[in-house]
């Protein structure tokens, strides 16, 4: 048996091939666009910021500076140091205190090792936990130090 095609069949097959090609190209473009949209901003090597803490009977407002430095990303794992931190009372300070955590889809989540204690009785200090969204050279989110928690903001330096 010999297949015979008319001109209409040829035009129809070309239309099918062209339509399939168009669908494949559009699918590839959508996939590339979605993948690009999900790429987070690169994590800077240094973040400098502060948080505000209201404490005491007089509701004194303390602005506490905080610096994360030597930030290195390996896959989703993040390491670095808390380069500048002093608790409002001055009892806990950073001395290149290491931290580790994750950076995934623009979300940075870290926890530091315990800070250096300056308490007269030698009481230990805890670490700091930070959860921020990084975008356009800024990072905003929350912190937790002991029982204190609240908003925190950083800028890339």
Q: Please report how many Cα atoms fall inside a 13 Å half-sphere around the Cα of residue 77, on the Cβ side.
A: 3
Q: What is the pTM of this model?
A: 0.72
pLDDT tens for residues 106-147?
999 999 999 999 999 999 999 999 999 999 999 999 999 988
Q: Is 20 helix (H, G, I), strand (E, B) or coil?
A: helix
97 contacts: CB under 8 Å, gap ≥ 6: 81, 82, 85, 112, 113, 114, 115, 116, 127
For position 140, what pLDDT does the model report?
95
How far is residue 19's CA from residue 8's CA, in Å, rounded to a whole number? 16
Report the pLDDT averaged over residues 8-28. Answer: 52
The DSSP bridge partners found for residue 77 are 74, 102
What the block records as the tokens of 17 is 């091939």
For position 1, what pLDDT does the model report?
54
pLDDT tens for residues 25-44?
445 544 444 444 456 678 89
DSSP state of 42: P
Q: Is 40 helix (H, G, I), strand (E, B) or coil?
A: coil
The pLDDT-based confidence of 59 (bands split at 50, 70, 90) is confident
| β strands within the chain, DSSP E | 47-55, 60-74, 77-85, 92-93, 97-104, 107-112, 116-117, 128-135, 138-145, 148-156
Is the per-residue pLDDT at 9 higher than 90?
no
How far is residue 80's CA from residue 96's CA, in Å, rounded to a whole number? 9
How far is residue 114's CA from residue 106's CA, in Å, rounded to a whole number? 26
Across the chain, mean pLDDT equals 82
For position 88, what pLDDT does the model report?
85
């Amino acid at each position: 048996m010999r297949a015979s095609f008319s001109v209409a069949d040829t035009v129809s097959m070309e239309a099918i091939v062209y339509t399939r090609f168009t669908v494949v190209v559009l699918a590839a473009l959508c996939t590339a666009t979605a993948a690009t949209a999900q790429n987070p901003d690169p994590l800077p090597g240094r973040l400098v910021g502060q948080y505000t803490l209201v404490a005491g009977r007089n509701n004194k407002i303390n602005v506490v500076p905080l610096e994360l430095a030597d930030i290195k990303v390996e896959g989703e794992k993040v390491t670095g140091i808390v380069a500048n931190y002093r608790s409002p009372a001055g009892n806990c300070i950073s001395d290149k205190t290491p931290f580790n955590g994750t950076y995934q889809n623009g979300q940075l989540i870290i926890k530091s090792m315990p800070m250096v204690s300056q308490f007269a009785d030698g009481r230990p200090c805890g670490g700091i936990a930070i959860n921020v969204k990084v975008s356009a050279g800024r990072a905003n989110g929350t912190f937790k130090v002991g029982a204190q928690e609240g908003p925190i903001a950083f800028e890339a330096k």
